[in-house]
Amino acid sequence: MRNKIIDLITDSIKELDRETVSRILEIPPQEDMGDFAFPCFQLSKIFRKAPNIIAQEVAEKIKKTDFVSKTAAMGPYVNFFIDRTMFVSEMLKQVSVDNYGSSEIGCGKTICIDYSSPNVAKNFHVGHLRTTLIGNSIYRIYKKLGYRVERINHLGDWGTQFGKLIVAYKKWGSKEAVEQNGISELMKIYVKFHEEAEKDDTLNDEARAWFVKMEQGDEEALSIWEWFKDISLIEYKRIYELLDVDFDSYAGESFYRDKTSAVVDELKKKGMLKESEGAFIVDLEKYDMTPCLIMKKDGSSIYATRDLAAIFYRKKTYDFEKCIYVTGMEQKLHFAQVFKVVELMGYEWAKTDLIHVPYGLVSLEGGKLSTRSGNIIYAEDILRESVSKIKEVINDKNPDLQDKEEVAKMVGIGAIIFNDLYNQRIKDVTFSWDKIHSFDGETGPYVQYTYARAASVLRKTGITDVPEEIDSSLLTDEASVSLLKELIRFPEVVETAAERLEPSVVARFVMSVAQAFNHFYHENQCNVEDEKLKRARVKLVIIAKKAIKDGLDLLGMKCPEQM
């Protein structure tokens, strides 16, 4: 439709080319300003007249077509009013295609997303929940655009902390306690290690010695480490299962332990390594950054070295177009340093293809959350509490609902996902049960409820097949057109969300569709006598319902047919 308007303008006014018109053509903010607006500010140079005058002349010159019912100059704008029936029929045609919202722009290209990536033997806290949800949504968005996406869980499963854990386990741990209490037991003995090491520094030496053993492949050290990792993964996978999140690779930091020396060698060969107090660094002073530590005094690698090795491994293995890292803001410097080092090694692609996607903090508002230990907030506890609270609501409001458990899970988990993804990721997320569980705020439950309402409307009409040929003139009322105007944005929304690595763009879209649908629902009865009218409205309900589902799917949320 946009193209048709562009044609119309360029056909009528020879001085204007398609590119210029396309660049400035807008969608006006209000219904009474028509469907497209052509601002004439920038045309003063070409026509040497005031924009208002140009607007008037353009409006008069535009050829009459049956497609445009009216053109009118309003100040410096020319507003185009498209014939309602044609407009509706054109929009319907677009939103009815199979795979609406998908595209092929990513075909043949690969994106790596590094997200979730918890630290073994440490709890999966709300910060890890955010990277998991944001990463999962970005994965889904890129997938929708046809990209091949490698989901990578870069587990924090290597480093000196494991030496400490082994010492702690040997001194104060027991197999039964670890098996029974999992990560919280590992955290407990880890804390004890630090308390005891305050008093007795030789514990630290012991810990270092155990980590050296790990790096040298000592069987005992590695088998304890492996076991801690398995124990931790059981808990992480329980969370991933709740969230329905998956990964293509769990190659964490330990995976790169035999791949760091090649990086160190290359840095040496390229003359980039500098000795500093026995350790080796890459100096980044010129770039206003603190040095990137590459190798410690004792020769062991660190977090950054393993990230460097991971970048080269991924480039070679996946030939990624982009490698995206989703972590909290506090790692901004880390990634800036690592990416800079790759660039300085002579890899130009580091400038464009390595992307850090930071996000804000989660803070709690009002009400207490029940957690296993005072101040650490376990993601799993929050998720389960959310599900059980929603179940109470269902038991109260709709006790006969089928699949109560399933629905409570979809809505309880969905509420948390939606709250997390609704605002720009860089903003802090506040968390209060009342707010996120409200059925009429800007929440997950509101959108899911809208979906269930659409499903219920359809059930009542008894129409099961999608009505094919419908009379578009029956959907020209304000509420139907507004709904269509929201739906029509979907493909553009997905692309923008991908470009900005911003799931909130999708979340906002789904909210607008849900609101427009509810407006439509209040204005228009669907189950009417008039069969033609009924079929037309049903068609629109089916399309809106599907858009909500597809939109929520991009956020990693599910939709109950009843709730």
- Residues catalogued as catalytic: 122, 125, 128
Tokens at 102, concatenated = 């998908």
**What order do you get walking across the sheet with 292-295 strand by strand?**
273-276, 279-282, 292-295
Question: Should residue 371 be labelled a site residue for ligand ARG when binding is judged by CB under 6 A?
Answer: no
Cα–Cα separations (whole angstroms), residue 471 to 1, 100, 528: 19, 21, 15
Sign for the pseudo-dihedral over CA of 299, 305, 309, 310: positive
Question: Should residue 156 be labelled a site residue for ligand ARG when binding is judged by CB under 6 A?
Answer: yes
Question: Should residue 10 be labelled a site residue for ligand ARG when binding is judged by CB under 6 A?
Answer: no
Provide, rounded to whole angstroms, the least separation between the CB of residue 385 and ligand ARG: 23
Q: Which of 327, 450, 480, 504 binds ligand ARG (CB under 6 A)?
A: 327
Question: Should residue 157 be labelled a site residue for ligand ARG when binding is judged by CB under 6 A?
Answer: no
Tokens at 131, concatenated = 């990277």
Give the dihedral of Cα atoms 425, 431, 436, 441; nearest 10 deg: -70
- Select 325 or 509, whichever has its Cβ closest to ligand ARG: 325
The CB-side HSE value for 329 (13 A sphere, CA atoms) comes to 8
Q: Write the DSSP symbol of residue 63.
A: P
Distance (Å, whole) CA 213 – CA 158: 12
Only one of the segments 114-122, 183-191, 390-398, 500-508 lies at the binding site for ligand ARG (rule: CB under 6 A); that segment is 114-122
Please give the backbone phi and psi of residue 526, each rounded to the nearest 5 degrees, phi first: -100, -40
Question: Should residue 150 be labelled a site residue for ligand ARG when binding is judged by CB under 6 A?
Answer: no
Q: Write the DSSP symbol of residue 156.
A: B
- Give me the residue whose beta carbon is nearest to ligand ARG: 156
Provide, rounded to whole angstroms, the least separation between the CB of residue 117 and ligand ARG: 4
Distance (Å, whole) CA 537 – CA 491: 23
Question: Residues touching ligand ARG: how many (CB under 6 A)?
Answer: 10
- The amino acid that residue 71 corresponds to is T
- Select 310 or 487, whichever has its Cβ closest to ligand ARG: 310
Only one of the segments 47-55, 82-90, 112-120, 458-466 lies at the binding site for ligand ARG (rule: CB under 6 A); that segment is 112-120
Return the H-helix or E-strand segment holding 167. Answer: helix 161-172
Based on the number of CB atoms within 10 Å of its own CB, is 363 exposed (0-12), middle (13-18) or buried (19 or more)? exposed
Provide, rounded to whole angstroms, the least separation between the CB of residue 114 and ligand ARG: 5
Does residue 361 contact residue 129 with C-beta atoms inside 8 Å? no
Provide, rounded to whole angstroms, the least separation between the CB of residue 306 and ligand ARG: 8
Tokens at 456, concatenated = 């219920």
Only one of the segments 113-121, 184-192, 261-269, 403-411 lies at the binding site for ligand ARG (rule: CB under 6 A); that segment is 113-121
Q: Other CB atoms closer than 10 Å to residue 287's CB: what's the count?
A: 11
Question: Should residue 135 be labelled a site residue for ligand ARG when binding is judged by CB under 6 A?
Answer: no
Distance (Å, whole) CA 90 – CA 81: 14
Helix 219-243, helix 202-215: angle, nearest 10: 80
Provide, rounded to whole angstroms, the least separation between the CB of residue 325 and ligand ARG: 5
- Select 310 or 507, whichever has its Cβ closest to ligand ARG: 310
Provide, rounded to whole angstroms, the least separation between the CB of residue 314 and ligand ARG: 10
Residues whose CB falls within 8 Å of the CB of residue 105, separated by 6 or more in sequence, listed in order: 145, 146, 495
Provide, rounded to whole angstroms, the least separation between the CB of residue 11 and ligand ARG: 54
Distance (Å, whole) CA 252 – CA 241: 19
Only one of the segments 48-56, 110-118, 345-353, 433-441 lies at the binding site for ligand ARG (rule: CB under 6 A); that segment is 110-118
Question: Should residue 114 be labelled a site residue for ligand ARG when binding is judged by CB under 6 A?
Answer: yes
- Select 71 or 123, whichever has its Cβ closest to ligand ARG: 123
Provide, rounded to whole angstroms, the least separation between the CB of residue 122 and ligand ARG: 8
Please give the backbone phi and psi of residue 121, each rounded to the nearest 5 degrees, phi first: 75, 5
- Select 130 or 140, whichever has its Cβ closest to ligand ARG: 130
Only one of the segments 116-124, 176-184, 194-202, 214-222 lies at the binding site for ligand ARG (rule: CB under 6 A); that segment is 116-124
- Select 28 or 358, whichever has its Cβ closest to ligand ARG: 358
- Select 255 or 520, whichever has its Cβ closest to ligand ARG: 255
- Select 214 or 387, whichever has its Cβ closest to ligand ARG: 214
- Select 82 or 149, whichever has its Cβ closest to ligand ARG: 149
Q: Other CB atoms closer than 10 Å to residue 145's CB: what's the count?
A: 22
DSSP string, 349-364: THHHHEEEEEE--EEE
Question: Should residue 353 be labelled a site residue for ligand ARG when binding is judged by CB under 6 A?
Answer: no
Q: What distance lies between CA 339 and its chain's CA centroid?
A: 22
Q: Which of 83, 307, 380, 502 binds ligand ARG (CB under 6 A)?
A: 307
Provide, rounded to whole angstroms, the least separation between the CB of residue 162 and ligand ARG: 13
Only one of the segments 7-15, 115-123, 167-175, 553-561 lies at the binding site for ligand ARG (rule: CB under 6 A); that segment is 115-123
Tokens at 268, concatenated = 């040496």
Question: Should residue 431 be labelled a site residue for ligand ARG when binding is judged by CB under 6 A?
Answer: no
Question: Should residue 159 be labelled a site residue for ligand ARG when binding is judged by CB under 6 A?
Answer: no
Question: Should residue 136 be labelled a site residue for ligand ARG when binding is judged by CB under 6 A?
Answer: no
Does residue 71 contact residue 80 with C-beta atoms inside 8 Å? yes
Please give the backbone phi and psi of residue 349, each rounded to the nearest 5 degrees, phi first: -60, -20
Provide, rounded to whole angstroms, the least separation between the CB of residue 359 and ligand ARG: 12
- Select 136 or 480, whichever has its Cβ closest to ligand ARG: 136
Q: Which of 34, 51, 118, 444 binds ligand ARG (CB under 6 A)?
A: 118
Q: Which of 56, 71, 117, 472 binds ligand ARG (CB under 6 A)?
A: 117
Sign for the pseudo-dihedral over CA of 219, 225, 228, 230: negative
Beta strands at 322-328 and 354-359: parallel, antiparallel or unpaired: parallel
The site for ligand ARG (CB under 6 A) is made up of 114, 117-119, 154, 156, 307, 310, 325, 327
